[in-house]
Structure 1
Amino acid sequence: MLRASLNPLNQSLTKSTNIYVNFTPRLPFSSLSLQTIQNSHSKPLSNPLYNLLPETQNPNQIVNLISSSLKQANSQLIDLQNDIKPLIHHLSCHEITRVLLRFQSDSFSALTFFNWVKNDLSIKLSSHNYCYIIHILAWSEKFSLAMELLCELIDYVKDCSNCENVFGSLVFCSKDCNFDPVVFDMLIKGYVRKGMVREGFMTFRNILEVGFLPSVISCNCLLNGLLRLNFVDQCWLLYEEMCRVGIHPNSCTFNILTHVFCKDGNADKINEFLERMEEEGFDPDLVTYNTLISSHCRKGRLNDAFYLYRIMYRRNVVPDLVSYTALMNGLCKGGRVREAHQLFHRMVHRGLSPDIVSYNTLISGYCKEGRMQESKYLMHEMIGNGIYPDSFTCQVLVEGYGKQGRLISALNLVVELRRFRVSVSSDIYDYLMVSLCHEDRPFAAKNLLGRISQDGYVPKLNIYNELIESFCRCDSVADALLLKAEMAQRRIKADLVAYRALICCLCRTGKCREAESLMEEMLKSGIRPDPQICRALIHCYCKQLDVDKAESILNFFAKEFQIFDTESYNCLVSVLTEDGDMNKLMELQDRMLKVGFAPNSLTCKYVIHGLLKSTARLENRLKSF
Structure 2
Amino acid sequence: MPLKLLVKTRSVVCLSSCHLRLLSTEITTVVSPPQPPAEQEAPVIKQALEILRRPEKEWDAAQLNQILFSASPFFLFKIARRLPSSSQALKFLQFLRQSSSDPSPPPDERSLSHALQAVFELASRQPNSTQSVYEVYTASRDLGVQLTPNAAAILLRCLGRNGMMSEAEFFFNGFDSAVKNSHVRNVWIKLLLQSGRFDDALKVLDEMLQPNDFTAAQFFTFFLNWRSHGRLIPEEEMIDLVLKFARLGVFPTSVWTTQFVTMLSWKRKINSAWNLLDELMKLEAPVDAAPCNALLTGLGKEMDIKKMNAVMVKMKEAEIQPDVVTFGILINHLCKHRRLDQALEVLDKMQGEMSIEPDVVIFNTIIDGLSKVGRQEEAFELVEKMKSQHRGCSPNTVTYNCLIDGFCKAGEIDKGINLFHEMQEMELVPNAITVNTLVHGMCMYGRTSNAVRFFYEMRSKGLWGTAVSYTSLIDAFCKVNNIARAIEIFDEMVTDGFPPDSYVYYTLISGLTRAGRMNEALTYFQTLKDSGFSPDVVCYNVLISGLFNTNKADKAREIFEEMEKAGARPDGVTYNTLIAYHAKDGNFIEARKLLKKMVNEGHVPTVVTYGALIHAYCLNQKVNEAMALFKELRGSSKVTPNGVIYNILIDCLCKKQDVQQALALMDDMEVRGAKASANTFNAVFRALREERMVNKAFELMDRMVRQGINPDYMTMDILTEWLSGIGEMEKLRRFVEGCTVSEGDHAAGDGAAAAAS
TM-score w.r.t. the length of structure 1 is 0.60
Kept in 2, the 8 Å contact 1:402–1:410? The answer is yes
Corresponding position: 1:212 with 2:324? no
Which whole-Å CA distance do the structure 2 matches of 1:100 and 1:304 have between them? 72
Which residues in structure 2 correspond to 1:253-402 (within 5 Å)? 253-262=362-371, 263=373, 264-266=375-377, 269-277=381-389, 279-402=390-513
Which whole-Å CA distance do the structure 2 matches of 1:312 and 1:460 have between them? 46
- 1:494-523 C-alpha deviation (Å, 9 max, x unpaired): 96987897798689768999999999x99x
Kept in 1, the 8 Å contact 2:537–2:571? The answer is no
Q: CA deviation at 1:357?
A: 0.9
Q: CA deviation at 1:228?
A: 0.9
Equivalent position of 2:356 in the other structure? 247
Query: Structure 2: which amino acid aligns with 1:192?
Result: G
Equivalent position of 2:192 in the other structure? 75
Alpha-carbon distance change, 169 to 153 in structure 1, aligned in 2, over 3 angstroms: farther
Q: CA deviation at 1:216?
A: 0.9
Q: CA deviation at 1:331?
A: 2.2
Greater CA drift, 146-155 or 462-471: 146-155
Equivalent position of 1:427 in the other structure? 538
Query: Structure 2: which amino acid aligns with 1:313?
Result: Q
Q: CA deviation at 1:353?
A: 4.0
Equivalent position of 1:588 in the other structure? none
Which whole-Å CA distance do the structure 2 matches of 1:461 and 1:303 have between them? 41
Equivalent position of 2:709 in the other structure? none
Please state whether the residue corresponding to 1:325 is helix, strand or coil. Answer: helix
Which whole-Å CA distance do the structure 2 matches of 1:100 and 1:184 have between them? 32
Kept in 1, the 8 Å contact 2:196–2:230? The answer is no
Indicate the RMSD between aligned Cα atoms, in angstroms: 5.6
Select the residue among 279, 302, 315 that pairs with 1:194. 302
Greater CA drift, 368-377 or 452-461: 452-461
Count of residues in correspondence between the two structures:
486
Query: Structure 2: which amino acid aligns with 1:242?
Result: M
Which whole-Å CA distance do the structure 2 matches of 1:386 and 1:317 have between them? 26
Alpha-carbon distance change, 142 to 482 in structure 1, aligned in 2, over 3 angstroms: same
Alpha-carbon distance change, 101 to 299 in structure 1, aligned in 2, over 3 angstroms: farther
Q: CA deviation at 1:321?
A: 0.3
- 1:566-617 C-alpha deviation (Å, 9 max, x unpaired): x9xxx9xx99xxxxxxxxxxxxxxxxxxxxxxxxx99999999999xxxxxx
Q: Which has the higher contact order (CA 8 A, sep 6+)?
A: 1
Alpha-carbon distance change, 202 to 140 in structure 1, aligned in 2, over 3 angstroms: closer
- 1:531-571 C-alpha deviation (Å, 9 max, x unpaired): 9999999999999xxxxxxx9xxxxxxxxxxxxxxx9xxx9
Which whole-Å CA distance do the structure 1 matches of 2:608 and 2:363 have between them? 55
Please state whether the residue corresponding to 1:388 is helix, strand or coil. Answer: coil
Identity %: 19
Which whole-Å CA distance do the structure 1 matches of 2:625 and 2:355 have between them? 83
Which whole-Å CA distance do the structure 2 matches of 1:527 and 1:323 have between them? 45
Q: CA deviation at 1:286?
A: 1.6
**Structure 2 unaligned regions, length at least 5:** 1-27, 30-176, 662-682, 692-744
Alpha-carbon distance change, 539 to 207 in structure 1, aligned in 2, over 3 angstroms: closer
Query: Structure 2: which amino acid aligns with 1:75?
Result: L
Greater CA drift, 125-134 or 283-292: 125-134
Greater CA drift, 345-354 or 223-232: 345-354
TM-score w.r.t. the length of structure 2 is 0.51
Kept in 2, the 8 Å contact 1:328–1:341? The answer is yes
Which whole-Å CA distance do the structure 2 matches of 1:378 and 1:502 have between them? 41
Which whole-Å CA distance do the structure 2 matches of 1:330 and 1:99 have between them? 68
Equivalent position of 1:171 in the other structure? 281
Greater CA drift, 383-392 or 483-492: 483-492
Which whole-Å CA distance do the structure 2 matches of 1:68 and 1:348 have between them? 68
Q: CA deviation at 1:231?
A: 1.8
Query: Structure 1: which amino acid aligns with 2:279?
Result: S
Which residues in structure 2 correspond to 1:26-37 (within 5 Å)? none
Query: Structure 1: which amino acid aligns with 2:482?
Result: R
Alpha-carbon distance change, 394 to 106 in structure 1, aligned in 2, over 3 angstroms: same
Equivalent position of 1:45 in the other structure? none
Equivalent position of 2:154 in the other structure? none
Which whole-Å CA distance do the structure 2 matches of 1:204 and 1:321 have between them? 38
Which whole-Å CA distance do the structure 1 matches of 2:621 and 2:445 have between them? 55
Alpha-carbon distance change, 138 to 423 in structure 1, aligned in 2, over 3 angstroms: same
Kept in 2, the 8 Å contact 1:394–1:424? The answer is no
Please state whether the residue corresponding to 1:396 is helix, strand or coil. Answer: helix
Q: CA deviation at 1:382?
A: 1.6
Q: CA deviation at 1:361?
A: 1.9
Query: Structure 2: which amino acid aligns with 1:238?
Result: V
Between structure 1 and structure 2, the one with the greater Rg is 2
Kept in 2, the 8 Å contact 1:154–1:191? The answer is no
Alpha-carbon distance change, 305 to 539 in structure 1, aligned in 2, over 3 angstroms: closer
Q: CA deviation at 1:378?
A: 0.9
Corresponding position: 1:450 with 2:529? no
Alpha-carbon distance change, 180 to 484 in structure 1, aligned in 2, over 3 angstroms: same
Q: CA deviation at 1:275?
A: 2.8
Which whole-Å CA distance do the structure 1 matches of 2:339 and 2:449 have between them? 39
Q: CA deviation at 1:105?
A: 3.8
Query: Structure 2: which amino acid aligns with 1:397?
Result: L
Alpha-carbon distance change, 183 to 466 in structure 1, aligned in 2, over 3 angstroms: closer
Equivalent position of 2:339 in the other structure? 231
Kept in 2, the 8 Å contact 1:510–1:540? The answer is no
Kept in 1, the 8 Å contact 2:439–2:452? The answer is yes
Query: Structure 2: which amino acid aligns with 1:379?
Result: F
Corresponding position: 1:156 with 2:271? yes
Query: Structure 2: which amino acid aligns with 1:272?
Result: E
- 1:381-403 C-alpha deviation (Å, 9 max, x unpaired): 22233433334323433443454
Greater CA drift, 415-424 or 189-198: 415-424
Query: Structure 1: which amino acid aligns with 2:401?
Result: N
Which whole-Å CA distance do the structure 2 matches of 1:371 and 1:394 have between them? 16
Kept in 2, the 8 Å contact 1:192–1:225? The answer is yes
Kept in 2, the 8 Å contact 1:69–1:75? The answer is no
Which whole-Å CA distance do the structure 1 matches of 2:348 and 2:392 have between them? 17
**Structure 1 unaligned regions, length at least 5:** 1-30, 33-60, 159-163, 544-550, 552-566, 576-600, 612-625
